[in-house]
Amino acid sequence: MAYPIVRVEGINKTFGGTVKALDDVTLEFPAGIIYGLLGPNGAGKTTLIRVLTTLLRPESGRAEVAGVDVLADPKTARTKIGLAGQFAAVDDYQTGRENVEMVGRLYGLSAAQSKSRAGELLERINLADAADRQVKTYSGGMQRRLDLAASLVGEPEVLFLDEPTTGIDPRSRLDVWELITDLVKGGTTVLLTTQYLDEADQLADRIAVIDEGRLISEGTSDDLKDTLGGSVIELSVAPDRETETLEALRRICETEPTINTLTREITVPAVEGAKTLTEVVRALDSASIVPNDLALHKPSLDDVFLTLTGHTAEVETEEPPPSAGRKRRLRSK
């Protein structure tokens, strides 16, 4: 592995003496990739970003960004990083251009440098046309992009993005994804947090799953999916046939089938892929069970998360939408 551009070692952070926000977190990754920190609200993602961006001091541990010890030399560390927090930290009464120029000036660039840098960045994030309008006229997605531009003023080696697409519409979300991907092509390293499994899946080269302050798994998206041992079969049956179905499945599978208490969806590992599926169909047929739904699929990060933590992510969604479809709504236990 290349020299790690971010290295975190045994970081502990406790709030209020009792709440463990980060519990002995250790991770590292090389330059030039998108690293995803995946976890539900309150998992400790933001806390870790704050430690790495010099905003918060942990009780113990070491953190290094671009070769600089963040805790020992935060001043130098700040010259290597860019931060876009959970909310667009831009002034709505300033124009887009004024916002970016201001950050340039604060960064230590001259007036002329700030001006040309702002022009460049606004072009890059596709906001050149709106640059001289006050930010209060911007959409949520535009504000996010502007915030990203502001975080890029110092040409950071590592860019920290805390939930870069939370709260913006799906179209803007794609815009932000594209922008992030472009940045990495240009040589920037990105650490982003997300509670959206598909976002991590789509964007991140490596993913760390974090829950209740602990790093519970780390690897590529495929690595994580492999922890489930390949594909799974998901099926649902009429409620009064559930017990029978589980019994039928136990006869053909070595692993105990699981049932989601909320969606009543039954999952069994498809150890031999389509062959297992055929076996399941046969077993159901001979028991005269007609499934409402039956599918073979490679595990999603949803499944990974469920398996790793015993509960699901995306706790925000309180009500299952009318047509939940394939995408599982997730909530705590």
Partner 1 sequence: MTGATVPTKPGRVAASAPQTTRAITVITKRNLLRNIRLPQLLILATVQPIMFLLLFNYVFGGAIGGTLPDAAGGEYINWLIPGLLVQVAAFGAGQTALGLTEDLSKGVIERFRSLPMARSAVLAGRTLSDLIRNGLVISLMLLVGVLIGFRYQTSFAGLVAGMALAMVFSFAFSWIMATIGLLVKNPEAVQPAVFLSVFPLVFASSVFVPTQTMPGWLRAFADNQPVTVTVDALRGLILGEGALLPGNSVVGQILLSLFYSGLILAIFVPLAVRVYRRTVS
Does position 85 bind partner 1 by CB under 8 A? yes
Q: Site mask, partner 1, residues 116-135, x = CB under 8 A? A: ------------------x-
Does position 87 bind partner 1 by CB under 8 A? yes
Span interacting with partner 1, options 87-95, 243-251, 301-309, 313-321, rule CB under 8 A:
87-95
- Answer for which of 17, 59, 75, 323 binds partner 1 (CB under 8 A) is 75
Task: Give CA–CA dist 54/274, Å, rounded.
Answer: 50
Beta carbon of residue 252, minimum distance to partner 1 (angstroms, whole number): 45
Beta carbon of residue 71, minimum distance to partner 1 (angstroms, whole number): 13
How far, CA to CA in Å, does 52 sit from each of 138, 167, 263, 279, 298?
A: 30, 24, 39, 50, 34
Q: What are phi and psi of 273, to 5 degrees?
A: 60, -130
Does position 31 bind partner 1 by CB under 8 A? yes
Task: Give CA–CA dist 306/331, Å, rounded.
Answer: 10
Overall size of the chain counted in residues: 333
Does position 246 bind partner 1 by CB under 8 A? no
Does position 185 bind partner 1 by CB under 8 A? no
Does position 78 bind partner 1 by CB under 8 A? yes
Does position 79 bind partner 1 by CB under 8 A? yes
Query: Which C-beta is closer to partner 1: that of 105 or that of 214?
Result: 105
Beta carbon of residue 231, minimum distance to partner 1 (angstroms, whole number): 32
Beta carbon of residue 1, minimum distance to partner 1 (angstroms, whole number): 6
Distance of CA 295 to the CA centre of its chain: 26
Does position 53 bind partner 1 by CB under 8 A? yes
Does position 2 bind partner 1 by CB under 8 A? yes
| 167: helix, strand or coil | coil
Beta carbon of residue 314, minimum distance to partner 1 (angstroms, whole number): 22
Where does residue 119 rank: exposed (0-12), middle (13-18), buried (19+ CB within 10 A)? middle
Query: Which C-beta is closer to partner 1: that of 152 or that of 266?
Result: 152
How far, CA to CA in Å, does 41 sit from each of 46, 86, 287?
A: 9, 12, 43
Kindly tell me the sign of the dihedral angle through the C-alpha atoms of 296, 299, 303, 309.
Answer: positive
Does position 164 bind partner 1 by CB under 8 A? no
Kindly tell me the sign of the dihedral angle through the C-alpha atoms of 249, 233, 318, 312.
Answer: positive
Beta carbon of residue 326, minimum distance to partner 1 (angstroms, whole number): 35
Task: Give CA–CA dist 329/322, Å, rounded.
Answer: 11
Query: Which C-beta is closer to partner 1: that of 47 or that of 312?
Result: 47
80 within 8 A of 68, measured Cβ to Cβ: yes
Q: Nearest Cα to 97, choosing from 76, 68, 123? A: 123
- Give contact residues for partner 1 (rule: CB under 8 A): 1-3, 5, 30-31, 50, 53-57, 66-67, 75-76, 78-83, 85-91, 93-94, 98, 102-103, 105-108, 134, 150-151, 154-155, 157
